[in-house]
Amino acid sequence: MKKGIGLYSRYLVAFLIILLASCATTRLLVVWKDEGFHRTMKRVVVVGVFRQPSVRNFFEDEYVRKLKEKGVDAVASYTFLPIGELRKKELLMSKIRENGADAALVTRMVDKKSFESYVPGTIYAVPNYYRSWGSYFDYIYQPGYLVREEYAFAETNIYETGSEKLVWAARSETLLSGDKQELIRSFVNTMTEKMAADGLLPSGR
């Protein structure tokens, strides 16, 4: 009996590992880079265009932390520009230049959509250790159900501050499930890894 329980436990652990590995929340849809831009960013101002100050602040702080890990000097825009003035482009750019940044990283949400999908019912065997050998496996039916998933679609652009030229852009989708701060961390990690792969961040970190 102990051998059967151990085998079942191993299957359960393996299933949980697969489930957790499949829970990546952010996926890149489209990425574009100016092929004439060959520099790595040295000092970046991070701008998160969000309605809630708390979300904006955490988003920018997380980006700053991750970029600094990659060897980039980064500054959160909320430290010098109130949320109500984010849409004033000339003011924003002048403040970014005052901070000595060579690049501005701007992220904004462009859409949000919900999708419903049907998960069909399944029949699976569960070990039963309390009956005769002939009924060692019982079969259990799991009925089908509807799953509703909500996705946020974001646009992330990087501008060279001197010319205000767009040098990198990405569209992404994020599955809105779980803790908001964990979603932001997942998003920032996905973006910075792609920026590094595209040669925008210093190598060797």
Domain assignment present for residue 114? The answer is yes
pLDDT in tens, 83-100: 888 888 888 888 999 989
Note the pLDDT of residue 13: 39
- What is the residue whose two structure tokens read 């060897």? 71
pLDDT in tens, 22-59: 455 899 999 999 999 989 999 999 999 998 999 999 99
Note the pLDDT of residue 142: 75
Domain assignment present for residue 73? The answer is yes
Note the pLDDT of residue 145: 72
Note the pLDDT of residue 86: 83
Note the pLDDT of residue 35: 92
Domain assignment present for residue 57? The answer is yes
Q: How far apart are CA 19 and CA 10, in angstroms?
A: 14
Query: Domain range holding 46?
Result: 26-197
Note the pLDDT of residue 188: 96
User: Above 80 in pLDDT, residue 2?
Assistant: no
Domain count, the chain: 1
Across the range 157-186, mean pLDDT stands at 92
More confident residue, 128 or 106: 106
Domain assignment present for residue 102? The answer is yes
Q: Which CATH number characterizes residue 178's domain?
A: 3.40.50
Supply the Cα-derived Rg of the chain in whole angstroms: 24
**Where do runs of H (alpha helix) occur along the chain?**
2-21, 53-69, 89-98, 180-197
If pLDDT is split at 50, 70 and 90, which confidence band does 139 have? low
Output the pTM of the full model: 0.74
Q: What percent of the chain has pLDDT over 90?
A: 50
Pairing outcome for strands 43-49 and 73-76: parallel
Domain assignment present for residue 203? The answer is no
Domain assignment present for residue 11? The answer is no
Domain assignment present for residue 132? The answer is yes
More confident residue, 10 or 54: 54
Across the range 61-75, mean pLDDT stands at 96
Pairing outcome for strands 165-175 and 145-160: antiparallel
Q: How far apart are CA 80 and CA 126, in angstroms?
A: 60
- The amino acid at residue 81 is L
